[in-house]
Amino acid sequence: MSEKVVIEKVSKRYGEKSIIRDMNLTIDQGEIISVVGPSGSGKSTLLKCLAGLEAVSTGTIKVGKEDITSLQANQRPIVMMFQQPLLFPHMTVLENVMIGLSFKRKGTKAKRKESATNFLMKVGLDGYGKSYPYELSGGQQQRVALARALITNPHLLLLDEPFSSIDNEKRDELRLWVKNLLKEEGIASLFVTHDIEEAMLMGDRVVVFAEQKIQQIGKPMDVYEEPATPFVAKFYSDGLLVDTNTFVHSKKLTVAKEKSEESFQSYKGTVVQKKVKHGSLFYDIQMEALHQKLTLPSNENLDLSQQVWVTVQQEQDLVHFHRGDEQ
């Protein structure tokens, strides 16, 4: 499959309330795009519109040259995975995977069973076909849901925070495993999350979505290091918003006990927390005048409630936003 999924000028409204406004996005086959944004920003609504569970208000959705905007959900080459596995409790694991092909009316029962067995092997659940969902862990249930989705060979897989119900210990392992499997299968995927770290790990590109539109799209580290709007800087990146149009990335900031007269600019702060990450010392610093808190590394031994100075060494370290920077 080489068809791109193209979203053109898609908008979604509920009455007078706009949820998505004039969205444009192209997804290459085999590409994983993370969509990250605050709760209630419309991320899940976007997935439902693509899946055919919600009708778009305006715009088109194309797979290759085919316009699928008006197709019903079961007619689209798009499959959605939800936060919960949504397995049928009265069916075995094998039957749950086969049901994906039954919905699509693909193949004989024998062929569906053979295909489902193969996909259980792909997701690491060989030998679990006769088990029931209640006998599996949460991570194993999500693997079954993934097999059920992939077995239909979709052009686009939609994942709506599929790891949110998995405990932290298993989450890292499962999401890396899922990413590798999606790459092996070469399936385009749109992965919705509110977790910045997860978005960076999963996505070839990341979409920062808020205020009804795409704020920025790019490679995860590019967006992190070079935010294009104040919202992206505050929500996705790390650093200090000096004012509504000026930002300095945390990697350009230093923290010290004394104010430096040689630096370009210094801001007063207070140490509110001390922590160690990966063998390095970090401090949470409250910047009262700027109404922000940021985390910075420092080799100095600072005390809680101690006054410190957060310093910008050079004027060129500042990033100035312009209205035209928004996507």
Helix axes 109-122, 138-150, angle to 10 degrees: 130
| Mean pLDDT on 270-282 | 91
Identify whether the C-beta of residue 301 lies closer than 8 Å to the C-beta of residue 308. no
Correct CATH for 240-325 of 2.30.30.90, 2.40.50.140, 1.10.510.10, 2.60.40.10: 2.40.50.140
CATH 3.40.50.300 in the chain, residue ranges:
5-224
* Domain covering 5-224 assigned CATH 2.60.120.620 in the classification: no
Quote the pLDDT of residue 326: 45
Q: The pTM is what?
A: 0.86
pLDDT digits (tens, 9 = 90+) for 214-263: 999 999 999 999 999 999 999 999 999 998 889 999 999 999 998 888 88
Structure tokens at 273: 């927390």
* Cα–Cα distance list, 107 to 17, 102, 111, 114, 226 (Å): 44, 8, 6, 10, 49
pLDDT digits (tens, 9 = 90+) for 109-155: 788 888 889 889 888 899 999 999 999 988 899 889 988 988 888 99
> Taking 80 as the threshold, does the pLDDT of residue 291 lie above it?
yes
Please, which pLDDT band fits residue 325 given cuts at 50, 70 and 90?
A: very low
Report CA-CA distances (Å) from 169 to 84, 111, 166, 186, 197. 18, 37, 8, 27, 15
pLDDT tens digit string along 32-83?
Answer: 999 999 988 899 999 999 999 999 999 999 999 999 999 999 899 999 988 8
What totals of helices (H) and strands (E) does the chain contain, helices first?
Answer: 8, 18
Pairing of strands 319-320, 307-312: unpaired
Give the chain's mean pLDDT: 90
**Please, where in the chain does CATH 2.40.50.140 lie?**
240-325
CA distance readout (Å), 161 to 28, 38, 62, 133, 295: 21, 13, 24, 20, 26
What letter represents residue 84's amino acid?
A: Q
- Torsion over CA: 164, 165, 169, 171 (sign): negative
Q: Rounded to an integer, what distance in angstroms lies between the CA atom of residue 38 and that of residue 211?
A: 10
Distance CA 323, CA 208 (A): 17
Nearest CA among 147, 106, 99, 156 for reference residue 123: 147
Of 281, 282, 256, nearest in space to 269 by CA: 256
Cα 236 from Cα 37, distance rounded (Å): 8
* Residue 13 CA: distances (Å) to CA of 54, 62, 326: 11, 20, 22
pLDDT(296) > 50: yes
- Measured from the Cβ of residue 160, the count of other Cβ atoms closer than 10 Å reads 21
**Residue whose pair of structure tokens reads 């067995």 in the numeric block:** 117
Q: Is the pLDDT of residue 2 over 70?
A: no
What's the confidence (pLDDT) of residue 21?
95
**Which pLDDT band, with edges at 50, 70 and 90, does 175 fall under?**
confident
According to DSSP, residue 223 is labeled H
